[in-house]
């Protein structure tokens, strides 16, 4: 409920109805709740197994849920950010997906660079006659918020990978950028759309778009090689030619 209230107040701030979010600094522990942060990070082999299952004839899921999982793997976005995405926010010519503040947890606009692989996933969805990238059964509404968790549970049953959630894919994205591609932690935080600490946010408005683009391109190529080709070769090439860091 606390999480939902924060989102409601963020929406009110984005619409100009409130000047600030009164629940912003309230923590679950402050109201008697227990915070049990998950630590599940999927391995590269698990990502490969899931992706290949999604591409196989064994997978009977809708293209919306298949695409949602792939997009989260490739971009690290939150479930709501892709579920509520609309086509007018996606610019294929500029390779840019702009997530409006009303769809983000922090109430700020987030810009996501679209790699070739990510664009292919988006473009496979375009024939749907809806303003939503992932429409539900009613084309005038987005995919139901429970559809993705249900689909993930079915995947777990069929491929035998230990319990994971859509948010674990986001954590995996962040972890793999740092551990596998040596992306600078600040760039990783920017890729996730996280707000920087208050002092940094006040004095440093740099969105680091070139560095984020480089990180996403490296990750997209890595995933493509992981699924379809020689990932060891790509990793060696990345170390030699495309280090991603601040400097």
List pLDDT tens digits, range 82-140: 999 999 999 999 999 999 999 998 888 999 999 999 999 999 997 768 999 999 989 99
**Is 246's pLDDT higher than 70?**
no
Residue 244: its pLDDT value, please? 42
Instruction: Please check the confidence at residue 202 and state whether its pLDDT lies above 50.
Output: no
> Can you tell me whether residue 110 is helix, strand or coil?
strand
* Residue given tokens 């971009």 in the structure block: 75
b/e 32-69 (16+ beta carbons within 10 angstroms → b): eeeeeeeeebbeeebbbbbbebbeeeebebeebbbbbb
Classify domain 37-241 at the CATH class level.
mainly alpha
Characterise 109 by phi-psi region: left (phi > 0), alpha (psi -120 to 50), beta (else): beta
Residue 166 CB-half CA count within 13 A: 25
Angle, alpha carbons 235-241-247 (nearest 5°): 110
The proportion of the chain whose per-residue pLDDT surpasses 70, expressed as a percent, equals 85
Q: Residues 95, 120: contact at Cβ < 8 Å?
A: no
CA distance 107 to 10: 5
User: For residue 99, what are the β-bridge partners?
Assistant: 110
Q: Where in the chain is the domain with CATH 1.10.443.10?
A: 37-241
Residue of 215 and 156 predicted with greater confidence: 215
> Residue 242: is its pLDDT beyond 50?
no
Categorize the per-residue pLDDT at 50 as very low, low, confident or very high, splitting at 50, 70 and 90.
very high
**Would you say residue 36 has pLDDT above 70?**
no
Task: Classify strands 110-113 and 90-91 as parallel, antiparallel or unpaired.
Answer: unpaired
Spatial CA neighbour of 43 closest among 210, 203, 234, 172: 172
Q: Give the position of tokens 């090689």.
A: 225
């Amino acid at each position: 409920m606390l999480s939902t209230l924060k989102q409601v107040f963020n929406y009110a701030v984005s619409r100009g109805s409130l000047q600030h979010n009164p629940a912003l600094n309230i923590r679950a522990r402050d109201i008697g709740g227990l915070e049990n942060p998950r630590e599940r990070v999927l391995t590269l082999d698990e990502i490969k197994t899931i992706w290949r299952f999604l591409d196989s004839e064994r997978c009977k899921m809708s293209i919306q849920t298949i695409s949602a999982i792939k997009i989260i793997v490739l971009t690290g976005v939150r479930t709501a950010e892709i579920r509520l995405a609309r086509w007018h926010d996606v610019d294929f010519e500029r390779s840019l997906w702009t997530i409006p503040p009303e769809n983000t947890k922090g109430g700020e606009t987030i810009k996501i660079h679209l790699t070739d692989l990510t664009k292919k996933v988006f473009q496979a969805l375009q024939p749907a006659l809806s303003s939503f990238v992932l429409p539900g059964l009613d084309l005038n509404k987005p995919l139901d918020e429970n559809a993705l968790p249900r689909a993930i549970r079915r995947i777990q049953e069929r491929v035998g990978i230990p319990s994971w959630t859509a948010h674990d894919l986001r954590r995996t994205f962040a972890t793999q950028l740092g551990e596998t591609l040596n992306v600078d932690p600040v760039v990783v935080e920017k890729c996730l759309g996280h707000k920087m600490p208050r002092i940094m946010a006040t004095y440093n408005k740099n969105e680091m778009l070139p560095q984020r683009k480089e990180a996403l391109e490296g990750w997209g190529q890595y995933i493509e090689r992981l699924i379809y080709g020689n990932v060891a070769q790509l990793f060696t090439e990345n170390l030699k030619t495309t280090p991603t860091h601040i400097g």
